[in-house]
Amino acid sequence: MRHCDAVTSGKPKTQDSRPKTQDVSPPDHPKAARADHEILDVIRFRWSPRAFDPTRDLGVDDLRRLFEAARWAPSSRNEQPWRFVVASRTRSSASFAALLASLNPTNQAWAAAAPVLVLAAVRLRHERDDLDNAHAWYDAGQAVAYLSLQATAMGLSTRQMQGFSPDAAAAACQVPAEFAPAVVFAVGYAGEPSSLASEKHRVAETAPRERRAIGDFVYEASWGRALS
């Protein structure tokens, strides 16, 4: 069984020749989550590369599928406060260059090879009553998470970035004042670690992914009491 049968079973397999998760993240891939409990393959095999293959672009259909996944994320009051501006290195090169320039130098060094950068922005006040939407950031995070998992199922990778200038990104993408830049993320096909200029980044590309143990962040009945 292919890793992503569970998430792609709605479509006939013969119509979709794109690489699936297992093509980029075989079970022994160093970045596969060393999960203590059974989880979905798209969660296990999602990871955030810095190396992107500069020769493989995304089609508009790929982008539509990614944002369709984001579309179905839940949000407070179903406000869907997220907005995305896509900057493609080939289709919207000026926007891509401007968004790339809004990143800090460390992020620019690797993100330049990604075929697509995306600015996620949030509407900070509710549309219906103009009250402060304290959950807008939370909601946008869920939308990006959905998109990231959809990307994994499609054999694509994402890496999110807080290392950018919100003002520069807003100017690059002409974001209206009622929206705030939340994150920039790169999306594309994972590339070769050797393509990265930084030795530290090359090493990180194959280093095991670390996480807290469940007992360190899940409590039962009251704070600090481990789930038994």
Ligand X SMILES: Cc1cc2nc3c(=O)[nH]c(=O)nc-3n(C[C@H](O)[C@H](O)[C@H](O)COP(=O)(O)O)c2cc1C
- Which residues contact ligand X (rule: CB under 6 A)? 47-48, 50, 107, 159-163, 183, 209
Q: Residue 159 CB, nearest distance to ligand X (Å)? A: 6
Q: Residue 61 CB, nearest distance to ligand X (Å)? A: 25
Minimum CB distance to ligand X smaller for 80 or for 107: 107
Residue 164 sits at the vertex; the CA angle it makes with 144 and 210, to the nearest 5 degrees, is 60
Angle, nearest 10°, between helix axes 136-153 and 60-71?
130
Minimum CB distance to ligand X smaller for 35 or for 134: 35
Minimum CB distance to ligand X smaller for 92 or for 142: 142
Q: Residue 185 CB, nearest distance to ligand X (Å)? A: 8
Minimum CB distance to ligand X smaller for 126 or for 163: 163
Minimum CB distance to ligand X smaller for 25 or for 80: 25
Rg (CA), the chain: 18
User: Which residue in the shown chain puts its C-beta closest to ligand X?
Assistant: 163
Q: Residue 7 CB, nearest distance to ligand X (Å)? A: 19
Q: Residue 188 CB, nearest distance to ligand X (Å)? A: 14
Minimum CB distance to ligand X smaller for 175 or for 183: 183
Q: Residue 75 CB, nearest distance to ligand X (Å)? A: 17
Q: What are phi and psi of 224, to 5 degrees?
A: 95, -15
> Looking up tokens 């509710």, which residue turns up?
126
